Amino acid sequence: MKKPLCLIAMAALASGLYAERPPEKKDSAAIVLTGTVESVRSKEEKFGNDGVKTNFNAEVKVDKVERGKEKGIDPGEVVVCTWFAVTKRPSKPFVGAFGHDYKVKKGDKVRVYLTGKGAGSWEVIYNSDGVEKLKK
């Protein structure tokens, strides 16, 4: 009787090894702005045994600040927005957040939901809709 219970416990534990971080709600964003992507840079780093995590920095020229005007961001300013995504999953189970890949490029019009200021940049909320492409 103990073996099946042990197997169920092991299966439950193994399924949680890819535990994802809970998404942050758009309402929780300290800043919401619209603008045009001027550039996107990326830098890869190791994730798990053989996975790859890519850190992204996008320069966005602000058209409008929809929320967080008191944060000192003005239209015409260029803001650096950061996020990350696991761009190659590790072959072995790995616990951690896998991020979001927004696939934006230079010239895209976007709405960005930001949490707070990092080291010289603003972090996008942890949500698959943290950066929305807009129609031009």
CATH number at residue 92: 2.40.50
Q: What are the tokens at 95?
A: 């616990």
Q: Which domain holds residue 48?
A: 2-134
Q: What is the pTM of this model?
A: 0.83
Which positions ≥6 away from 130 have C-beta within 8 Å? 24, 26, 83, 100, 102, 112, 113, 124
Task: Identify the pLDDT of residue 1.
Answer: 46
Domains in the chain: how many in total? Answer: 1
CA 119, distance to chain mean position in Å, is 16
Q: Report whether pLDDT(127) > 70.
A: yes
| Side chain identity at residue 50, one-letter code | D
The 8-class DSSP code of residue 49 comes to T
Q: What is the pLDDT of residues 90-116, one digit of tens each?
A: 999 888 899 999 999 999 999 999 997
Predicted confidence at residue 69, as pLDDT, reads: 85
Residue 118 binned pLDDT confidence (cut-offs 50, 70, 90): low
